[in-house]
Structure formats: structure tokens, C-alpha cells
DNA sequence: TAAACAATTAAGCAACTGTTTATATGATAA
DNA sequence: TTATCATATAAACAGTTGCTTAATTGTTTA
């Protein structure tokens, strides 16, 4: 009924658990830490207005870095930095054609996540 | 064809726009800044593993603050802090019963966003 | 009342994030 | 090769975030 949540043994910060049964029951239903971490990474990639605008743009057309920079009125390194984040989260893909690198959305799944977010935001 | 993106007039940092037509076309299709900001706030609320675990728990049952703290093995102020973020984003609601405050998900919409994220993370 | 307790808020701090400036890489053309 | 251009990376910095500890707010009960 009492739980010690301190990390050091010499400390003793105690908190009560009121509904032990519910806590135990919920604990079994929780998604594992690995997947929670993955989901957090996904949403972290989508929590920046600039990156959302990039996603939004790529929903409409495949674009190269300098065009995105121009569209969003940002410096090219800043855009490149954001694209790296989106790449690492598998939200975008790219293909090189000569000097130019074209970015596009990875799949329709990204579109769903974006629209789900927009739907919630529009309430 | 050339665009000056510097913010000061005495600077002159110039970047090229390669596909002027696509940039112009995409610009018209972009969601307005206000809604982009709202979506960013939503995803910012969901980018933290702890908050995702709270959402995950509330998917399964209505819970009070100290039970959540116990479940996640965290201090009660830390949990309270996260709940405040979730409240401000309209992701959770709460009701007071005596000294205890019970939290629950705002609507089924939150469930959709969470599952969409999990779906992407599980690929 | 006063004591107890669930929850919130505030202050302080380490760690992380987004931007800028500068430099490096990779590809094409002269 | 050398020059040019599109992109990527690195370093530095201001601003933000999440946690801890401490103090405060509400509510119930003795």
C-alpha cells in the first residue's frame, strides 16, 4: 500500500497508492517501453512548426532543399537540419539528381498522422 | 529567380529558387500558420515518453495522480507537471472527488492519434 | 478549529533544441 | 583541373524542457 520511489536508499520519499488493483491491472495493459520510445521520437519529429510545414509542403509535391528554404523563408542549413530529423524518423525519403536532392514523403502513413493532428487541432 | 532571405537590409544572403512554379503552387496549398501551430502543440504534448505512458494508462482506465505516479515510478509533482501539459492541450479531462483528482482522456480522438503513432512506430 | 493528505505551483538546474555562421562534401560544367 | 552550385555538417549560442526540492492550495476529518 506504500511505495518508496526514491532512487537512493538513504532517502525515504513515500507516496501512497490509492487504487492498488487498478494500478496493477493497467500495468499489464501498457505498451512496452521500446515502442513508447519510438512513438515519442515520431511525435518529437513532428512537434516543430517548421518541420510540419515541410511535411505539409511534401504532401503537395516533391521538392528540393533550396525550394523548401525559399518557400518557408529560411536559411538552407536550417532546412537541411530539419530534413535530417525527418529522414532519421523515416518520415521522408530523398533522391539525388545531379547536384539537386529531392525530398518526398516516405508513405501515405505520414499523411494520416498529419491529418489526424490537424483534425484534433481544428476542434 | 533570386530570393533575398536576409532579415537586415544591409546584409545580402542570397539563395536560389530552382522551381519557381512548384514553390508558388505549393504555397497556395499550405495550411495556415495558426493551425500548423496548433498541430505542433499537440505533437509537442505527445513527444515525451512519460506523457505517452500517461496517455497509454488513461486509455485503459481513469486514474488519480498518485496512482499514475506509482504506476510510472515517478514523483507526484513530476506527474502533475505532465498532466498540466496534457490538460492545456485538451488531451485529458479531470474531475475532483474529495481530495482526489481523477484524470481521463478527453475523447476517442486522442486514442486515434496515439494508435496512429504506434502504427507508424511498429513498422 | 487544527491536522492530514492529494494535488498544484514555483524555483533552480542540467540536458536538449533550433537557429546562425562558417566550413565541408559532392556533383557538374568550364 | 578549377570554379560553381546544391546540400550537408559542425560549432556556438539562446531559448526551452523535464526533473527535483520546497512551499502552497484545497479538501476532509478529527
- Specify which residues A101 forms β-bridges with: A96
DSSP string computed for B83-104? HHHHHHTTSEEEEEETTEEEEE
Q: Do A116 and B42 meet the contact criterion of CB atoms below 8 Å apart?
A: no
Q: Which residue is nearest to nucleotide C23 (CA to C1')?
A: A77
Could you write out the DSSP letters of every residue in B37-96? HHHHHHHHHTSSHHHHHHHHHHHH--EEHHHHHHHHT--HHHHHHHHHHHHHTTSEEEEE
Confidence band (pLDDT; 50, 70, 90) for B109? confident
pLDDT tens figures, B40-60: 999 999 999 999 999 999 999
d(Cα A34, Cα B46) in Å, to the nearest integer? 16
Instruction: Report how far apart, in Å, the C-alpha atoms of A69 and of each of A6, A50, A80, B52 are.
Output: 48, 10, 9, 32
Q: Which A residues 9-28 have CB within 7 Å of strand C?
A: 15-16, 18
B71 and chain A in contact, CB less than 8 A: yes
> What is the per-residue pLDDT for A12?
32
DSSP 8-state code for residue B19 = -
Domains (ranges, CATH) in chain A?
16-121 (1.10.10.10)
Nucleic strand C near CB of residue A81 (< 7 Å): yes
| Nucleic strand C under 7 Å from the C-beta of B92 | no
Which of A:15-34 have CB within 8 Å of B?
15-19, 22-23, 25-27, 29-31, 33
Protein residue minimizing CA–C1' distance to C17: A48
pLDDT of residue B9: 28
Mean pLDDT, chain A, whole residue set: 87
Q: How confident is the model at residue B87 (pLDDT cuts 50, 70, 90)?
A: very high
Backbone φ and ψ for A24, nearest 5 degrees, come out as -65, -45
Q: Average of pLDDT values for B6-30?
A: 68
pTM: 0.87
Amino acid at each position: 500500500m506504500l511505495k518508496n520511489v526514491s532512487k537512493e536508499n538513504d532517502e525515504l520519499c513515500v507516496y501512497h497508492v490509492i487504487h492498488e488493483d487498478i494500478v496493477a491491472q493497467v500495468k499489464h495493459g501498457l505498451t512496452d517501453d521500446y515502442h513508447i520510445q519510438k512513438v515519442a521520437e515520431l511525435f518529437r519529429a513532428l512537434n516543430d512548426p517548421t518541420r510540419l510545414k515541410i511535411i505539409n509542403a511534401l504532401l503537395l509535391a516533391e521538392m528540393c532543399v533550396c525550394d523548401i528554404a525559399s518557400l518557408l523563408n529560411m536559411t538552407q542549413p536550417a532546412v537541411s537540419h530539419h530534413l535530417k530529423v525527418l529522414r532519421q524518423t523515416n518520415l521522408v525519403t530523398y533522391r539525388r539528381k545531379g547536384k539537386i536532392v529531392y525530398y518526398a514523403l516516405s508513405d501515405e502513413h505520414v499523411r494520416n498522422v498529419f491529418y489526424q493532428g490537424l483534425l484534433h487541432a481544428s476542434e
